[in-house]
């Protein structure tokens, strides 16, 4: 019963970010010139479909989405590419997008559809760099524990298309960006590394991120990061004067949708925040302590209640197991709760893919550790090996949804009875 409610909360959060529902009301007026639709992200194809279904005039374009996340479109081409480490398909499609928006006039409209994952998918290396250079650095960043803001700061400064450069290429055409936020704080400059948004970060900031995580860049990357002439467009740049960004779905909207579902089940929802960051296992221990506190005598709010949160935790990979950040969060929480009665939880990525695995996330309950011990699983050892996927797969407690075709970051719900 608890798992059914937790799953309904997650499904409700995802449904609140469905482009078919959230996009149509934000479409701009038809221009007197051409309409070019471009975009990138895990929700890019479903966003393109929503545009086609609600646009009365002519349009053309191309969007890039992750392998397995495409949906049929009639007039907008959909290209699939690799995520989270970019590949040649993404590089080539990004180059075609730059060509599409070049040479447009003031009467033309570029409608840019951006969602989480777009940074890796919209991969066009800066001059002097190769795709292999970016792949190696991307892989190192993903294992380092760097936040999404830090990773995207570096990515923007190594790109020919991100960090506002796409909007510069489209000038003087009007550029309207419809974005689904998957980043803490909903900063448009961070979502997919802000291809149409001025970049407030600097080359020095990018170098500082690599130094912080002790990542040694290759010679070519170091040269680009030292070249002041390769700086991104900054706020106030006149070339970005004819741009607009509209957030059509956010993590907070998804959490509020889940809260409404909880209330209909007579469960009091408490939203901890939509932009929680930090090491997954550390955040899990903190949230477990909160949950235990609400069961204590004299707690300010009495159970039954559900603690809801969003954001994006990180994992510093030290082992060789399998598992995304949500699975790692759940395994650490199960250990912290140590079988406490009356507490169950779910943690999933709203795009349906936890990291690079095939699950959205997983669930835990009071019996999780006992069932694991009966199977001979050592929870602490598997957490140390970053093998949360293996742990929950053995228990049959993975949440499998397939691609949801949207992305408002992680969703976590802790049910306290």
What is the rounded CA–CA span in Å between residue 412 and residue 30? 40
In a shared domain, residues 290 and 401? yes
In a shared domain, residues 68 and 195? yes
Residue 26 lies in a domain: no
Please provide the average confidence, as pLDDT, over all residues in the chain.
95
160-203 pLDDT, tens digit each: 999 999 999 999 999 999 999 998 889 999 999 999 999 999 99
- Residues 145-154 have a mean pLDDT of 91
Position 154 pLDDT exceeds 90: yes
Report the pLDDT value the prediction gives residue 296, as an integer from 0 to 100: 87
Comparing CA positions, the residue from 116, 190, 184, 179 lying closest to residue 152 is 190
Q: Exposed, middle or buried, 353 (CB in 10 Å: 0-12/13-18/19+)?
A: buried
CATH number of the domain where residue 116 is located: 3.40.50.10180
**Dihedral sign from CA coordinates of 35, 30, 105, 113:** negative
Of 249, 284, 301, the last residue of a domain is: 249
**Beta carbons of 184 and 311 less than 8 angstroms apart:** yes
Position 412 pLDDT exceeds 90: yes
Position 235 pLDDT exceeds 70: yes
Residue 175 lies in a domain: yes
Residue 86 lies in a domain: yes
DSSP 8-state assignment for residue 365: -
Residue 169 lies in a domain: yes
Residue 112 lies in a domain: yes
345-383 pLDDT, tens digit each: 999 999 999 988 899 999 999 999 999 999 999 999 999
What is the rounded CA–CA span in Å between residue 312 and residue 325? 8
Residue 126 lies in a domain: yes
Geometric angle at alpha carbon 14, from 245 and 48, rounded to 5°: 45
pLDDT band at 300 (very low <50, low <70, confident <90, very high): confident
Of 219, 249, 279, the last residue of a domain is: 249
* Residue 316: HSE in the Cβ half-sphere, 13 Å Cα cutoff: 9
CATH number of the domain where residue 385 is located: 3.40.1480.10
Residue 367 lies in a domain: yes
In a shared domain, residues 168 and 301? no
Structure-token match 């090996």, residue found: 385
* pTM across the whole model: 0.92
- Please count the other Cβ atoms lying within 10 Å of the Cβ belonging to residue 346: 26
In a shared domain, residues 234 and 257? no
More confident call, 298 vs 247: 247
Position 138 pLDDT exceeds 90: no
Number of domains the chain is built from: 2
Asked whether the bond before 84 is cis by omega within 30 degrees of 0, the reply is yes
In a shared domain, residues 129 and 37? yes
In a shared domain, residues 333 and 199? no
In a shared domain, residues 187 and 292? no
In a shared domain, residues 37 and 127? yes
Position 7 pLDDT exceeds 70: yes
Residue 209 lies in a domain: yes
Asked whether the bond before 179 is cis by omega within 30 degrees of 0, the reply is no
In a shared domain, residues 208 and 242? yes
In a shared domain, residues 233 and 300? no
In a shared domain, residues 40 and 182? yes
Of 203, 220, 249, the last residue of a domain is: 249
What residue numbers bound the domain in which 151 lies?
31-249
In a shared domain, residues 257 and 199? no
């Amino acid at each position: 019963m608890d798992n059914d409610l937790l799953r309904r909360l997650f499904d409700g959060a995802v449904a609140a970010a469905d482009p078919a529902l959230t996009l149509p009301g934000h479409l701009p007026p038809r221009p007197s010139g051409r309409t070019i639709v471009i975009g990138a992200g895990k929700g890019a194809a479903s966003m393109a479909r929503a545009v086609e279904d609600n646009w009365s005039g002519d349009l053309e374009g191309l969007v890039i989405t992750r392998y397995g996340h495409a949906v049929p479109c009639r007039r907008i081409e959909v290209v699939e590419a690799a995520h989270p480490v970019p590949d040649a398909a993404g590089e080539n499609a990004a180059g075609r997008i730059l060509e599409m928006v070049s040479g447009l006039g003031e009467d033309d409209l570029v409608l840019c559809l951006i969602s989480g994952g777009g940074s890796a998918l919209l991969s066009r290396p800066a001059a002097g760099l190769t795709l292999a250079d970016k792949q190696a650095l991307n892989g190192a960043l993903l294992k380092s524990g760097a936040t999404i803001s830090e990773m995207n700061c570096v990515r923007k400064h190594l790109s020919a298309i991100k960090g506002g450069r796409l909007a510069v290429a489209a000038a003087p055409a009007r550029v309207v960006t419809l974005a689904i936020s998957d980043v803490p704080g909903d900063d448009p400059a961070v979502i997919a590394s802000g291809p149409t948004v001025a970049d407030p970060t600097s080359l020095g900031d990018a170098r500082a991120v690599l130094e912080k995580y002790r990542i040694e860049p290759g010679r070519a990357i170091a040269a680009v990061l030292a070249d002041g002439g390769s700086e991104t467009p900054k706020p106030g740049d006149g070339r970005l004067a004819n741009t607009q960004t509209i957030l059509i779905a956010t993590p907070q909207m998804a959490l509020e949708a889940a809260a409404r579902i909880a209330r209909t089940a007579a469960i009091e929802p408490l939203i901890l925040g939509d932009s929680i960051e930090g090491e997954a296992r550390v955040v899990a221990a903190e949230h477990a302590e909160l949950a235990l506190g609400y069961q204590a005598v004299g707690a300010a709010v009495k159970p039954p209640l559900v603690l809801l949160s969003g954001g994006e935790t990180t994992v510093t990979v030290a082992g060789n197991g399998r598992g995304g950040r949500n699975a790692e969060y759940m395994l650490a929480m199960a250990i912290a709760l140590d079988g406490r009665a009356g507490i169950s939880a779910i943690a999933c990525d709203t795009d349906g893919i936890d990291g690079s695995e095939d699950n959205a996330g997983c669930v835990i309950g009071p019996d999780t550790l006992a069932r694991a011990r009966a199977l001979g699983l050592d929870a602490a050892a598997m957490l140390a090996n970053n093998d949360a996927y293996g742990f929950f797969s053995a228990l049959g407690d993975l949440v499998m949804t397939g691609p949801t075709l949207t992305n408002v970051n992680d969703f976590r719900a802790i049910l306290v009875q």
